[in-house]
Structure 1
Amino acid sequence: MDISIIIVNYRSWKPLLKCLESILSADKANILFEVIVVDNFSDDGQFDFYQNKFKNVVFVQNDTNSGFANGCNLGAKRAKGKYFLFLNPDTIISPNTIDVLYTTSKKHPEIGILSCLLKDKNNRHFNQQNIFPSLFQIFGIGRFLYRKTKTSFNGDEELFYPDWVSGAAIFISKHRFEKVNGWNEDYWLYFEDVEICKKISQQNGKITVTRNTTILHEHGGSSRNDFETEHISKTEVLISKHVYVNNNFSALSKVPAHLFLIIFTLIEKSFLTILSLFLFSNIKLKTNRHILKNLCDYYFNAIKKQTWLSKQSVNYQK
């Protein structure tokens, strides 16, 4: 088996349908591949229908919604391929995507993780010029200023080399994947892609993006499909920042990074929550009330349990 395509799904059946159809109709040449869908306990009655509809796809039912990293690792344990392609269910690959990723990786053994251009339904490209978070770049303004001074992504070369790429589309050899012990299950959602890229980089694997193929990505389609899921997902972005800081920052920078995150996040969410009381019909502002409550619960628990992990993480000690 050349490639195992691994997709983690949670109640994203309609986007998944399009994703699977694009995979099964893609140009494959002489490439032998399998498709594995791990369902993170959607528990909505759709699993059996899709399992019967796609007989050539391996469906694995997780017994809990244990997060993206855990779902990917579960799929990898079932995989037979020499290479793994991790895809979000809300992606649609181009006809040449599988061939381009496979041949590029074979041609360039120095590549540790390979991705490609990502665009949304309005044909706008997502940023793949990502830098690793640091004390001064973990906030939006710092990242913006840093990108303005970094020019290594410019040009029309076939390949370019960011620090990390989105987990929406990650192509990696089984050997390299196992060498870094797969995805870190400290994370329930978000920043697990940043960390696996950092681990691969530390082992001299290049994080690479090819311009020779493009994947359509309906960003948020798999994680923000209702109001409750949206505010939980947005809370987890902030929680995962703390997990990343704790796992990857130096001893000297951890404390100020955590403090800055707490202070600026609580100020921002408190302001938006107060604003929502006057503009109560604005759904986005209303979301911030729930995020603020979730964060207060999280910070209280972090002090009580002495851990930055989300309660959703499979590594969280109850």
Structure 2
Amino acid sequence: MIIDKLNIDISIIIVNYKSWKHLENCLESIDKILSKNFSFEVVVVDNCSSDNMFKVFKKKFLQFNFFENTGNNGFANGCNLGAKKAKGNYFLFLNPDTIISEEPLLKMYSFLKENKRIGVVSCNQLNTNGFYEKNVRFFPSFSTLFGVFRAINKKKLNSKFSVKNYVLYPDWVSGAVLLINKIWFDKIGGWDEDFWMYYEDVNLSKKVSNLGGRVAVLTDTEIIHNHGGSSRINIKTASITKTEVLISKHVYIRHNYTGIKHFILQFLVVIHNLIEKFLFGAIGVLFFFIPKLRLNVYLYFNMIKYYASSLLDGTWLSYRSLNHPNKN
């Protein structure tokens, strides 16, 4: 473990919000890494969990750097704050609900150093049920916007991607494990804080792609990811996070499409969300005693509220975003 060194190779940046048990497991896995091939530091940003655990962890893991954010300002803001505090030449953005070892870190780091055109690299993510998360990810477009669209265009979409020498080049990679050179990070302006949660990793990958960089996944190494462990705590939390997924798709479209394409895509997403959430919400009313079905009722009303406020405020941004025009 290398700390207090002027020239640090990798800064591992972790944004936490009330995921202390997962974070503890993650930090303990990092603490076991003793590499002669690279130096690293750990930067933990807590998005103001306000549960008195910040001081406990700061005291328990003295070898790591802890910073408390001013509020629950979102994943992108927490990542950017961590990057400002970091001293490394490479930034590894890592979810607190992950377990990592030296092998994937070294392979990603070595690959990025040897391939200057690669802007972002990730690796396989193995969940706690023993299944790999999908690596083939597409930018939202007319052919990929909804599941039925992807099914119709499945053959054409899959033909775009193939694994060569254990490397896959998808459109984007998950922010759960994302390594980027500081030069590339500065070039794209870091994480976009218009996104409060979700799609910020899609947008980051898109910015890299727009500047001629490539996005890669190493398929011969992996981390363990307890997917959703840092966000899906209870039905109230789930309703917030699932609502933000829907909102963030609108924000992504706003950033990456203009003119008639922008209008049509936004319209399609609005209609799809209203119809789908209404139908599932109606079922949720009938089976309100089942939490997973009751959740659809909350989602429907959350989206109605969002669309109404979007019209009034003239923005697609979530009101949780720091860049929302009515943010105090």
Normalising by structure 2, we get a TM-score of 0.94
CA-to-aligned-CA distance 1:28-87 (integer Å, 9 cap, x gap): 223111000000010111100110010011001001100000000000000100000000
SS of the equivalent of 1:135 reads: coil
What is the CA-CA distance between 1:16 and the residue it aligns to?
0.6
Q: How does 1:189-208 map to 2 (within 5 A)?
A: 189-208=197-216
- In the other structure, the counterpart of 1:98 is 105
- In the other structure, the counterpart of 1:311 is 319
Asked if 1:4 is matched to 2:40, the reply is no
What is the CA-CA distance between 1:94 and the residue it aligns to?
3.1
Contact kept, 8 Å, 1:117 with 1:209, in 2: the verdict is yes
Q: Which amino acid aligns with 1:225?
A: I
Q: Which amino acid aligns with 1:103?
A: S
SS of the equivalent of 1:284 reads: helix
What is the CA-CA distance between 1:191 and the residue it aligns to?
0.4
What is the percentage of aligned positions where both structures have the same residue?
45
Asked if 1:264 is matched to 2:272, the reply is yes
Matches of 2:307 and 2:247 in 1, distance apart?
A: 9
SS of the equivalent of 1:204 reads: coil
Match of residue 27, structure 2, among 5, 9, 20: 20
- In the other structure, the counterpart of 1:48 is 55
- In the other structure, the counterpart of 2:228 is 220
Q: Which amino acid aligns with 1:113?
A: V
- In the other structure, the counterpart of 1:146 is 153
Asked if 1:287 is matched to 2:295, the reply is yes
What is the CA-CA distance between 1:255 and the residue it aligns to?
1.0
SS of the equivalent of 2:153 reads: helix
Q: Which amino acid aligns with 1:21?
A: E
SS of the equivalent of 2:161 reads: coil
Contact kept, 8 Å, 1:26 with 1:96, in 2: the verdict is no
Normalising by structure 1, we get a TM-score of 0.97
Q: Structure 1: any 5+ residue segments left out of the alignment?
A: none
Q: Structure 2: any 5+ residue segments left out of the alignment?
A: 1-7
Matches of 1:276 and 1:50 in 2, distance apart?
A: 40
Moved over 6 A (4+): none
Matches of 1:126 and 1:95 in 2, distance apart?
A: 20
Question: Which shifted more, 21-30 or 72-81?
Answer: 21-30
Question: Number of residue pairs matched?
Answer: 318
Matches of 1:248 and 1:201 in 2, distance apart?
A: 12
Q: How does 1:164-183 map to 2 (within 5 A)?
A: 164-183=172-191
Q: Which amino acid aligns with 2:73?
A: S
What is the CA-CA distance between 1:152 and the residue it aligns to?
4.3
- In the other structure, the counterpart of 1:249 is 257
* Cα distance change of structure 1 residues 58 and 15 upon mapping to structure 2, 3 Å threshold: same
* Cα distance change of structure 1 residues 271 and 230 upon mapping to structure 2, 3 Å threshold: same
Q: Which amino acid aligns with 1:194?
A: V
Matches of 2:28 and 2:208 in 1, distance apart?
A: 31
- In the other structure, the counterpart of 2:86 is 79
Question: Which shifted more, 163-172 or 253-262?
Answer: 253-262
Question: Which shifted more, 299-308 or 154-163?
Answer: 154-163
Question: Which shifted more, 150-159 or 70-79?
Answer: 150-159
Q: Which amino acid aligns with 1:248?
A: N
Give the root-mean-square deviation of aligned CA atoms.
1.2
Contact kept, 8 Å, 2:100 with 2:224, in 1: the verdict is yes
CA-to-aligned-CA distance 1:252-291 (integer Å, 9 cap, x gap): 2111111111111111111111112222222111001111
